[in-house]
Amino acid sequence: MEENMPENTCCVCGEPGVHSLGGRWFCERHHQTATRERRGAWRSNLGLILALVVFVGLVYAVDSFVQPAFTPSTLLLTGVLLAIVPALIWLGVFYQQDRLEPEPKGFVLGVFLLGALLAAAVGIPLVENVFRVSDWLYADTLTTILGGILVVGFAQEFLKYAAVRYSMYNSAEFDESTDGVVYATAAGLGYATVLNVMFVVQNGGVDLGLGVIRMAVVALAQAGFAGITGYFLGRAKFEHESIWWMPLGITLAAVANGLFNWVRGEVTRGGVSLSGGAANPWSGLILAAVVAFICLGAVSWLIHRNVKSALAAK
């Protein structure tokens, strides 16, 4: 009987464990947390996808019909502000949906900032200055795919993993599998924000309509791939998994990252020759929204299935 095994301690708080789930022991409180339905996090991710598409449409319409005039400095400032909007949208929707089962705001924001810091201090310099991918990544299809996975994909996904693994992972606030996705998504959006800000700064500003589409694509993609890593993090903490479990998760996220960027390039360039041969950025946005929806939806379903299976096996 579980109650007769005081030597087993809760994997979250270290208190005596009274329930076993997925090979891990939980106290009464954290067992209830680990087996509850966590709908707020998934609604916030769906809300991010929908809100970003609406936001992009509004900005694109303003740019097309109002055609605001910018000085170089105001164009740069506007671009930087637009770069942080996807993260603000997600945080706003997340806190609204998560109010009945809240994560500490400071911790979520902290992981977001850590993801941004790792992107600025390690990820972007590594990819651009050490590997110098801009010099060779688009030489041919095979190089684009392999470089996108082995260099860009692994660099980005490992750093998003590290932002969670070496901050919140061992915290008592990380008390259910879904938290892996929540914190990884925050790290992914932090990473995406820096990518977008750097793009704006390096170009001295961006075209308002086209720029906001690119920013939304980057945010959706980074959040979706981070969700994959977050799922593996949640399983790793609350279930006994093999030593290859987390490397597999990071690899899957990196492969999805690299393949997405290649497909996005093909769709954006080739799928739009109907409009006079010009690239169609909307194709990339639609692709990113679909990919994010599939990634985050699949992760949600997997966590739900795993919890039900573990409870049924008791």
pLDDT in tens, 31-45: 666 666 556 566 767
Find residue 16's DSSP bridge partners. 9
Of 140-144, 213-217, 235-239, give the range with the top mean pLDDT: 140-144
Rounded-to-integer distance, Cα 83 and Cα 198, Å: 9
pLDDT of residue 232: 95
> Which of the four pLDDT bands, split at 50, 70 and 90, describes residue 200?
very high
From 87-96, 107-116, 162-171, 180-189, the region with the lowest mean pLDDT = 87-96
Higher pLDDT among residues 2 and 50, named by residue: 50
Question: What phi, psi does 32 have (nearest 5°)?
Answer: -65, -40
* Residue 183 to residue 84: CA distance in whole angstroms: 18
- Given CA atoms 53, 55, 59, 64 in this order, what sign does their dihedral have? positive
Angstrom distance (rounded) from CA 197 to CA 76: 10
- Write the single-letter amino acid at 170: N
In sequence order, what are the residues at sequence separation of 6 or more whose Cβ sits closer than 8 angstroms to the Cβ of residue 217? 264, 281, 284, 285, 287, 288
Tell me if 17 sits within 8 A of 9, measured CB to CB: yes
20 bridge partner residues: 25
Mean pLDDT of 45-51: 80
In the predicted structure, residue 3 carries a pLDDT above the cut 60: no
Q: Mean pLDDT over all residues of the chain?
A: 83
pLDDT, greater one: 99 or 295 = 295
- At residue 256, does pLDDT exceed 70? yes
Q: What stretches of 16-143 adopt beta strand conformation (E)? A: 19-21, 24-26
172 has a pLDDT exceeding 90: no
Are the C-beta atoms of 164 and 184 separated by less than 8 Å? yes
Instruction: Extract the tokens encoding 281.
Output: 């950025």
161 Cβ partners below 8 Å, 6+ apart?
184, 229, 233, 246, 249, 250
Cα end-to-end distance, the chain, whole Å: 11
Q: What is the pTM of this model?
A: 0.84
* Amino acid residing at 7: E
- What burial class does residue 253 get, using C-beta atoms within 10 Å of its C-beta: 0-12 exposed, 13-18 middle, 19+ buried? buried
State the Cα–Cα distance between residues 63 and 67, nearest whole angstrom: 5
Task: Find the mean pLDDT for residues 260-266.
Answer: 90
16 secondary structure, DSSP code: B
